[in-house]
Structure 1
Amino acid sequence: MDTEFAFTGLRSGAGPATWGQSAIWDVVRHLGTDSARYNVSGGCPLPEPLPVARVAEIVRVLLARHDSLHTRLEFDGSALRQAVVGSGAVPAVVRSSPEVLPAAYDLYHELQAEPFDPLSELPLRVGLVTSGGLVRYAVFSLSHTASDGWGLRNLLADFSALLAGRPLGEVPLQPLEEAGFQTSERGRRRDAAARRSWLAKLDRGPRRQFPVRAPAAPTFPNAVLNSPALALAMDRVAAGLAVNPAAVLLAAAAAAACRLTGVRDAVFQVVVNNRFLPGLAGGVNAVAQEGLFHLAGTHEPFPGLVRRTFGAALSAQRHAYYDKLALDRDIASIRACDHSCFVNDTRGLMPILGYTKPAPAPLSEARSRTTLTWPVEHEPRRNTTFALDAQDAEGSLELAMTADSALIPRQDMARFLYGIEELVVDQALALGAD
């Protein structure tokens, strides 16, 4: 059953788009049929079943709290603006099934596969699974122009708090308010500092990280390494070397790339959450942007590389809040190094229906359950050598890689992904993990 959750009397207004909205819009509008892959979706069970009408009331509270959920974008051919609408309706899909969790997974994938048009529709769809006439599971699907993975986590946290009758925290900074900061003198200084840092790094890195190996292909292959062993080993290596797991992943990706090409500098665009300004931490909005990660000497022994990666990642995070369209103009005027490789660590950020962590097991046994699949072919992406996503999976960790096969043929994609697993698992074993 398809229905709508109508709302009225909410905040409204219009103004310039935020840096995050503009950056995501500029990417998604060029993706064509691939744009739905950028949807931000997740869900959770209801602790106590509720009528659909009661869930609709809770959704209206969320809409009132987060303006991004009732914001459309406007584009006049040169400038992007945001328009917050005070009245409207959010689409809701209701599925009835006695098997709640399988139905929730199906509904999640259904909503995740449906692209958004942020110029003509609101950026939120709700899915509900009912049994016995009551809602047992809720799924939220958002356009990436409205929220990133951290925002989705905040939305689900607010939803869970409302279900439990707990008070919500301070009202977060709204996108129109964020745009006001960005156009202020302080915001312009922050933007200028970030762009200076980017340009300095782009002047130092290698001109090409992956040489051309084959003719251009009409599609980019997508490979997915599912590794219970990597999920176990990442945390163990991070604890043993006193860094965070994200640094372990970045170091392994840098070292695996060096093994393929012999190029000893790694330059990756890494996604940073950017929730450092007051009021942004609890927001549902598109704030995450890419920081530029540059690491030289990637051929050194892995423990030292991991420790140096931690510092290089902090530098990337410090300068990841900026006007991307202005940065693109800056880059077009210089001879920049290769910055066409992307790494996005989404573990724990996009709740995919309650995946569980891997059960403790010997790493050798867990590694025997690693699989590599090739689920889909994507349309070619502009200025992209590869995009690597680390994401949660049931009892495992997945590395999903999309690459230009003219630069990284399929066999090298496989070597790269297995190489990351090998580096991390071997280091865990060297630290005494079993």
Structure 2
Amino acid sequence: MRTSHPVKASHPVRAFHRVSVTFRAPYGDRGALTWGQTAIWEVLRWLPPGDASLNLLAVCEVEPGRDVDDVLAAVRALVERHDALHTLFPRDDGDGGKPVQVVLRSGELEVAVHETGTRNPVTVAAYAGARLRDTPFDIGGELPLRVAVVTTGGVPVRVVLVVSHMAVDGWSLKIVCEDLRTLLSAPAALGPAAEQPLGRLAYENSERAGLRERRAFDYWAEAVRELPRVWLEDLRQGGEARQDWSEIRSRALSRAIRALAARASVTPGTVLQATVALLLGLYKGEDDVALRLIVSTRFKPETRRFVGAFNQNALLRLRLRQESFSGFLAHAGRAALAAYGTCEYDPVRLEELVARVTGERGIGTDGYCFLNDIRFDAPAPPAGRRLSPAEYDALLDETELVEPPHDTDQKGATFFLYVHELSERAVLTLCADRRFLGPKGPADFLLDLEWLAVEALRTDAGPLRLAEALAARRSSPGPRGHGAGTGLPSTSARREKLSPP
């Protein structure tokens, strides 16, 4: 390890120094990009120069009894364990400038060490993280990992990790943090590493993967030929985005989703997907609905703890019909399995297929509805005891709706929903093209989603009955915005309780 001279920094950190950590992995090699890496590369190359919005950040606490050398040794072992953390992605001039992956056998990683002095370690870690995250990675010439150690009186209390999305996805970052904690507390308990990206590449070049890819292409092609154009068409048509943002923080929504999941024996994530798809169908007057789900694709034991860019899109297709809501959720669960079973493919070839099929229909494609569940914490807790209508009314009164900070454009997406939390409260952020939702914007959609989940739980009404109840609710508000006897406040009444941004 080599220590450099201290570097001056602005508030809240007066000074820090850098330490060089040398790593040596078992091997070095190179290969083409995997499907997951290609998917991220297609996003990165669309972003404007200097954009760092896709850099991933995590802060890990350090247990007492460790010194800086212990932390640096753990960081070294972490880098050596996961190929993705010591891989470069230089462009290949022979493949149209598309990168290749080059796994380095050895190298050095500079680690910034920040001393808190009298400052709060959380504040210092946040500052260090922002400093590392806000600069884009040179993916062709720079390691995809940046690290800072926060110390108090020379004792490490936090480790800050910033990783390029080209190297890892959000689920990978969770695994990396878990491995780092194990390396710091009980390194002997750490089992062998999972499949590495070059191993994944070998699988994707196999006949078995080719069969899965062809099955996925068939599924997507059939759906794109049949789906209403509203789920496919890019509203920009070469023009600018007209996107609005809103975020809901709701205990009522989370409680209703978890109760619905328990009643139908499906996951809360399935309930949320189904309810979002249902409300989209009600908004657009369509009974054949499609959502693009961003999926980690870790379906096999050898990829369960895979560290790398692994996300791909699954196409969830739901048909709305007359059935109970419990029946609808069972139907949604089966549709989700079909979507997950057809989401492994070369993303460039898939988009070429979609463009060809939509072109045959005279549709300018790329205007999708996305749902990105970025919860990487523990699963949603059990639903708990059944709440009374009055208790749900009390929870509804607590709901907050805010305008979140945003500085990114969601490309051609007409609707992009992020799921941040689904525990004691639901936290969802929605970006939507105002031409897509019409007079109602993302704030209205999120409040209607909350109403829909609570109403479905109360009545077990199916999609068609809920459509009637939603129409009645909008047209006949009572003193508290009650509609059609639902006992729930209307959007206009609820808006008075919204918190400021």
Normalising by the smaller structure, the TM-score range is 0.7 to 0.9
Equivalent position of 1:389 in the other structure: 418
The range that moved more, 116-125 or 169-178, is 116-125
The AA in structure 2 aligned to 1:7 is T
Q: Could you list the per-position Cα deviations for residues 99-148 of structure 1 after superposition, in whole angstroms to 9, with x for gaps in the alignment?
A: 23344344445544443332232211223322121111223222112111
Residue 150 of structure 2 is aligned with which of 101, 112, 129? Answer: 129
Residue 72 of structure 1 is aligned with which of 73, 76, 88? Answer: 88
Displacement after TM superposition at 1:41 (Å): 2.5
Q: Could you list the per-position Cα deviations for residues 225-270 of structure 1 after superposition, in whole angstroms to 9, with x for gaps in the alignment?
A: 1223223332222112110011111111112212322122211110
Task: For structure 2, list consecutive stretches of 5 or more residues without a partner in the other structure.
Answer: 1-15, 461-501
The AA in structure 1 aligned to 2:204 is Q
Displacement after TM superposition at 1:219 (Å): 5.5
Residue 206 of structure 2 is aligned with which of 164, 184, 200? Answer: 184
Question: SS state of the match for residue 167, structure 2?
Answer: coil
Residue 217 of structure 2 is aligned with which of 195, 220, 230? Answer: 195
Does the aligned pair in 2 maintain the 1:42–1:350 contact within 8 Å? no
Displacement after TM superposition at 1:409 (Å): 5.4
Displacement after TM superposition at 1:51 (Å): 2.3
The range that moved more, 40-49 or 81-90, is 40-49
Does the aligned pair in 2 maintain the 1:266–1:298 contact within 8 Å? no
Does the aligned pair in 2 maintain the 1:270–1:342 contact within 8 Å? yes
Q: Percent identity?
A: 29
Equivalent position of 2:23 in the other structure: 8
The AA in structure 1 aligned to 2:103 is V
The AA in structure 2 aligned to 1:83 is V
Question: SS state of the match for residue 137, structure 1?
Answer: strand
Structure showing the higher strand proportion among its residues: 1
**Residue pairs, 1:275-354, within 5 angstroms:** 275-297=298-320, 302-335=325-358, 340-349=368-377
Structure 1 or 2, whichever has the larger Rg, is: 2
Displacement after TM superposition at 1:179 (Å): 0.7
**Residue pairs, 1:35-434, within 5 angstroms:** 35-75=51-91, 76=93, 77-97=96-116, 98-165=119-186, 166-209=188-231, 217-218=240-241, 220-297=243-320, 302-335=325-358, 340-349=368-377, 362-392=391-421, 396-408=425-437, 411-429=440-458
CA distance in structure 2 between the partners assigned to 1:21 and 1:210 by the alignment: 24
The range that moved more, 121-130 or 293-302, is 293-302
CA distance in structure 2 between the partners assigned to 1:131 and 1:364 by the alignment: 46
TM-score (norm 2): 0.77
TM-score (norm 1): 0.88
Displacement after TM superposition at 1:183 (Å): 1.3
Task: For structure 1, list consecutive stretches of 5 or more residues without a partner in the other structure.
Answer: none
From the superposition, tell whether residues 298 and 79 of structure 1 become closer, same or farther in structure 2 (CA, over 3 Å). Answer: farther
Does the aligned pair in 2 maintain the 1:222–1:378 contact within 8 Å? no
CA distance in structure 1 between the partners assigned to 2:423 and 2:329 by the alignment: 27
Displacement after TM superposition at 1:211 (Å): 8.7
CA distance in structure 2 between the partners assigned to 1:178 and 1:306 by the alignment: 33
The range that moved more, 86-95 or 242-251, is 86-95
From the superposition, tell whether residues 301 and 110 of structure 1 become closer, same or farther in structure 2 (CA, over 3 Å). Answer: farther
CA distance in structure 2 between the partners assigned to 1:278 and 1:119 by the alignment: 31
Does the aligned pair in 1 maintain the 2:247–2:443 contact within 8 Å? no
Equivalent position of 2:12 in the other structure: none
Aligned CA-pair RMSD:
3.2
CA distance in structure 2 between the partners assigned to 1:84 and 1:410 by the alignment: 51
